[in-house]
């Protein structure tokens, strides 16, 4: 047992929302999640100011002021990006310090295969992570390749969700060759195979999956174990078919998410409120659907 294993301290009856998608990109040792070229290009794409990369304590303070809980994670893409991630152990320790507002997810490098399976068990058992984050484009893997299925088996056995980036990414945007990052790995149709083969695994497709939004809506409508988080885009830029689906067939399947620090909390909520979504649906999006995904409903 590791000292400081995460346990929930969030009063979910009191918090107004659960942001299902935030990044912690600097650890307590100052190590950054990505190499300098990628950090600078991504900051330029999202028009971030200097010092915008988020530490765990700064993120917690921000969300505490907004009476909002946040799922926090980093991405282990060391094989594909040739850069070690910031410390997941440090992230969990920060979530333990701020367990009234933060929910830590783990990440594993899928190319580590058997070691990744061991790491899933370790992060759940010893550190108390509540889910796992994957970024197929940054990690350069096809999610439906069966060599990675033992990783999903371990996550399903742990009873926690798997969150996958889908669609276009701002990571590497504007760099020659997109810094080697390939968009095709984040086609949501690859996750349809995973959802069908692992019906007991809760899958969250992160972001409106431009240019594959129609496929994303179809998958989430068809598979009971698949959800969508709405992070990474200001809601005023959501495709119209997605806005329609939020109020109809996906009303119990979509989750509030910002992609903080790339999209700020105030901006996302202001633009979402302008969509004119039914208040009953807004409550589902902002909190209730997330509690179901996290296994906390009721």
Print pLDDT tens along the chain (298 aa). 355 899 999 999 999 999 999 999 888 887 887 788 887 888 888 877 655 667 899 999 999 999 999 999 999 999 999 988 899 999 999 999 999 999 999 999 999 999 999 999 999 999 999 999 999 999 999 999 999 999 999 999 999 999 999 999 999 889 999 999 999 999 999 999 999 999 999 999 999 999 999 999 999 999 999 999 999 999 999 999 999 999 999 999 999 999 999 999 999 999 999 999 999 999 999 999 999 999 998 6
Q: What are phi and psi of 221, to 5 degrees?
A: -75, -35
What is the spatial distance between Cα 293 and Cα 288, in angstroms, rounded to a whole number?
A: 9
DSSP structural state of residue 288: I
Per-residue pLDDT, 148: 98
Residues in Cβ contact with 135 at an 8 Å cutoff, skipping those fewer than 6 apart: 75, 77, 164, 165, 169, 171, 186
What is the spatial distance between Cα 230 and Cα 227, in angstroms, rounded to a whole number?
A: 10
Q: Are 151 and 182 in contact (CB under 8 A)?
A: no
DSSP structural state of residue 163: E
Q: Report helix, strand or coil for 166.
A: coil
Domain residue ranges of the chain, discontinuous segments joined by +: 15-292
DSSP string, 14-49: T-SEEEEEEE--B-TT--BSS-HHHHHHHHHHTT--
**Hey, what are 63's tokens?**
């969300």
Task: Report pTM.
Answer: 0.95
Strands 254-255, 226-229: parallel, antiparallel or unpaired by DSSP?
Answer: parallel
Torsion of CA 131, 74, 207, 8, to 10 degrees: 40
Beta strand extents in 114-257 (DSSP E only): 132-134, 162-165, 203-206, 226-229, 254-255
Per-residue pLDDT, 1: 39
Superfamily for 15-292? Metal-dependent hydrolases (3.20.20.140)
Q: How far is CA 264 from the centre of its chain?
A: 15
What is the spatial distance between Cα 139 and Cα 174, in angstroms, rounded to a whole number?
A: 19
DSSP structural state of residue 179: G
3-class secondary structure for 78-142?
A: HHHHCCCCCCHHHHHHHHHHCCCCEEECECCCHHHCHHHHHHHHHHHHCCCCCCEEECHHHHCCC
Q: Are 240 and 267 in contact (CB under 8 A)?
A: no
What is the spatial distance between Cα 227 and Cα 254, in angstroms, rounded to a whole number?
A: 6
Q: Report helix, strand or coil for 62.
A: helix
């Amino acid at each position: 047992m590791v000292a400081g294993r995460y346990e929930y301290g969030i009063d979910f009856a009191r918090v107004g929302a659960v942001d299902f998608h935030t990044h912690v990109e600097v650890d307590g040792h100052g190590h950054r999640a990505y190499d300098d070229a990628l950090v600078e290009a991504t900051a330029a794409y999202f028009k971030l100011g200097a010092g915008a990369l988020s530490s765990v304590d700064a993120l917690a303070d921000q969300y505490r002021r907004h009476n909002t809980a946040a799922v926090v994670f980093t991405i282990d893409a060391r094989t594909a990006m040739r850069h070690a991630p910031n410390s997941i152990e440090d992230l969990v320790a920060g979530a333990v310090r701020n367990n009234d507002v933060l929910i830590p997810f783990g990440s594993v490098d899928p190319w580590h295969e058997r070691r990744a399976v061991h790491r899933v068990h370790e992060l759940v058992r010893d550190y108390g992570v509540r889910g796992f984050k994957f970024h197929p484009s940054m990690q350069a893997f096809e999610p439906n390749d069966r060599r990675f299925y033992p990783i999903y088996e371990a996550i399903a056995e742990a009873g926690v969700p798997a969150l996958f980036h889908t669609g276009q990414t701002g990571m590497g945007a504007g760099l020659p060759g997109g810094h080697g990052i390939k968009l095709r790995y984040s086609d949501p149709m690859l996750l349809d195979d995973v959802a069908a083969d692992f019906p007991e695994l809760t899958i969250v497709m992160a972001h409106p999956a431009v240019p594959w939004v129609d496929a994303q809506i179809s998958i989430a409508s068809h598979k009971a174990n698949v959800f969508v988080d709405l992070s990474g885009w200001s809601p005023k830029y959501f495709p119209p078919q997605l806005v329609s689906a939020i109020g109809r067939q996906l009303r119990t399947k979509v989750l509030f998410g910002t992609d903080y620090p790339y999209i700020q909390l105030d901006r996302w909520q202001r633009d979402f409120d302008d969509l004119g979504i039914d208040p009953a649906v807004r409550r589902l999006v902002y909190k209730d659907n997330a509690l179901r995904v996290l296994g906390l409903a009721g």
